[in-house]
Structure 1
Amino acid sequence: MALVMRITASEEIYQKLRNEILSLRFEPGQELNLQLLATQLQVSRSPVRDALMKLSGDNLVDIFPQRGTRVSCIDLKQVEEERFLRKSLEQSAVRKFVPIAKCKELGQMEDAITLQQRAMVSKDFNQFLEADDTFHAAIFSGIDMDRIWNLICSQGGNHHRIRLLSFAEKDVLGNIIEQHRAMLDAIKQKDLETVLAIEHRHLDKLLEETEFMIKRHPFYFKKIQATEGLIPKN
């Protein structure tokens, strides 16, 4: 008899609220009213409270006892930690993937690029980011390590949000598509060194865009001391 996994109310609410935060529909710094959320979601306060506690563990909400809850501002130190985690794991995955890449994963990457082109035309940044993740997830799927990709996603909330913000900057979307095409061509040729070089530039490009995003959305970012190589110093 097959086991059926049931999603609890708090887990379902957690996923809904997490999606709202990652899509920036709930903006960094925005107040989250427990009672209002419970009313909107047509549930009691308890599962909403549990979901918010879990989101706090993801560094996506800040809970202030007796004062309320708000969406966490983007923490650039955490962005760097999450980017480092992803880059380290993905470059290792690429080394295993390139020699054994199959038509299935290459087709998924081709389709992801096509979806990104459509999203760029319609300026649908969330769809563009979803297709971007599909492109990279194919690498982990191709080496049967989907769980590692899921780990990157679960630990990458700050990095996810700043990636989404970066799409509004000039030429960013086109450059991402161009890099994806170059990566895919190099993978087809089993040219590992070229893939790694493109991957390095691809995952580091956010460092160059951070200063512009801080100027455009200063209240979205947690105010912390400058970190070498990531946060511009005044």
Structure 2
Amino acid sequence: MTNRIHALLRKLIVEVRLLPGRALSEKEIAALLHVSKTPVREAIIRLAEEGFVTVVPQGGTYIAPIDVQRYMEACFIRFKLEEGAVVEAAKRHSLEDIARLKTSLAQQRAAAEGEQFTDFFLLDEEFHRTIFAAARLPGAWSVVNQAKGEMDRMRHLKRVFAVRRTEKVIEEHENIVAAIESGDVDRAREAVQSHLGSLESKILELSKNPKIWTYIEQINTRVIKKRVSRGSQLPA
């Protein structure tokens, strides 16, 4: 039950359906889900450890602000681990792995053509998970998936603000699959680097989307004001 509640709350936070600064009540969540407060408390503790919520002693529990530093750290972790995974996939893939990746590409095209962008996001996730499976490193994807929560929050913000590069993403995915299938390690590394970008490119990307940057600043400022008005302090 704790795992289910954690997964649900994490999904709502990552998809920016629970906004930064919103209070979380163990009692209300437990009543809504018809469970005891214990699994809810345990799920919130896990979310706090992941940086998604902030627990203020005697002041309540709140959805954490969007943290650009944590976003950059998540990008770094993903870049390094996925580059290694693509290299291993080029060396160790099977015909079944390539078939699964190509099926995913076809599904991504269908979702893009139908403007099913939420479905496209999920298919994108499955595509990258399949790369780690082809590398025979499925556990490494679990590490990436947990680390990239702030990255996913930013990706969903882009979706909200209609910042999309769907066609380009599919083209880059095609290049990655072709490189893995060829067994060319250098080509595979270059393909995934081109797809994921760099820390510098992510900063530049944010600067080119002032609406997102302004939204982050506004909502984080609102969180700070709420904390101050309650007489609490932000954690160091």
Compared CA separation, residues 91 and 118, structure 1 to 2 (3 A): same
Asked if the contact 1:101–1:187 (Cα under 8 Å) also holds between the matched residues in 2, the reply is yes
Q: Is the 8 A contact 2:83 2:192 kept in 1?
A: yes
Query: Which moves more between the two structures, 211-220 or 42-51?
Result: 211-220
Higher helix share: 2
- Equivalent AA in structure 2 for residue 215 of structure 1: T
Tell which deviates more after alignment, 144-153 or 15-24: 15-24
Residue equivalent to 1:214: 213
User: Structure 2: how far apart are the matches of 1:221 and 1:135?
Assistant: 32
Q: 1:84: Cα distance to partner?
A: 0.9
Structure possessing the higher relative contact order (Cα contacts under 8 Å, 6 or more residues apart): 2
**Cα RMSD (Å) of the superposition?**
2.2
Paired position in structure 1 for 2:83: 91
Residue 202 of structure 1 pairs with residue 157 of structure 2? no
Q: 2:109 aligned with 1:132, yes or no?
A: no
Following TM superposition, by how much is the alpha carbon of 1:67 offset from its aligned partner in structure 2, in angstroms?
Answer: 2.0
Q: Answer whether contact 2:111 2:119 (CA < 8 A) is retained.
A: yes
Unpaired stretches in structure 1, ≥5 consecutive residues = 1-8, 224-234
Change (3 A) 1:119 1:31: farther
Q: Deviations over 1:193-230 (max 9, x none)?
A: 2322221122125443323121355445589xxxxxxx
Give, in angstroms, the shift of residue 79 of structure 1.
Answer: 1.2
**Cα deviations across residues 66-97 of structure 1 (Å, max 9, x unaligned)?**
22222112211111111111111111122221
How far apart, CA to CA, are the structure 1 residues paired with 2:101 and 2:206?
A: 27
**Residues in 1 aligned to 2:110 and 2:41: alpha-carbon distance in whole angstroms:** 38
Q: TM-score, normalised on structure 2?
A: 0.81
| Counterpart-to-counterpart distance in 1, 2:155 and 2:164 | 14
The code of the aligned residue for 2:204 comes to E
Give the distance between the partners of 1:64 and 1:40, measured in 2 at CA.
Answer: 23
Give structure 2 stretches of 5+ with no counterpart.
223-236
> Could you tell me which residue of structure 2 aligns to residue 15 of structure 1?
7
In the TM superposition, what is the alpha-carbon distance from 1:171 to its structure 2 partner?
4.3
Please identify runs of 4+ aligned residues in structure 1 that moved more than 3 A: 121-126, 167-171, 205-208, 215-223
Counterparts of residues 30-69 of structure 1 (less than 5 Å)? 30-69=22-61
- CA gap of 1:215–1:100, structure 2 versus 1, over 3 A, is same
Report the alpha carbon displacement of residue 139 of structure 1 after superposing the two structures with TM. Answer: 1.7
- Which residue number corresponds to residue 230 of structure 2? none
TM-score by length of 1: 0.82
**Secondary structure in 2 aligned to 1:24?**
coil
Q: Which residue does 2:64 correspond to in 1?
A: 72
Matches within 5 A, 1:141-220: 141-167=133-159, 168-204=161-197, 206-211=202-207, 212=209, 213-220=212-219
Letter of the structure 1 residue corresponding to residue 63 of structure 2 = V
Cα distance in 2 for residues equivalent to 1:219 and 1:18: 22
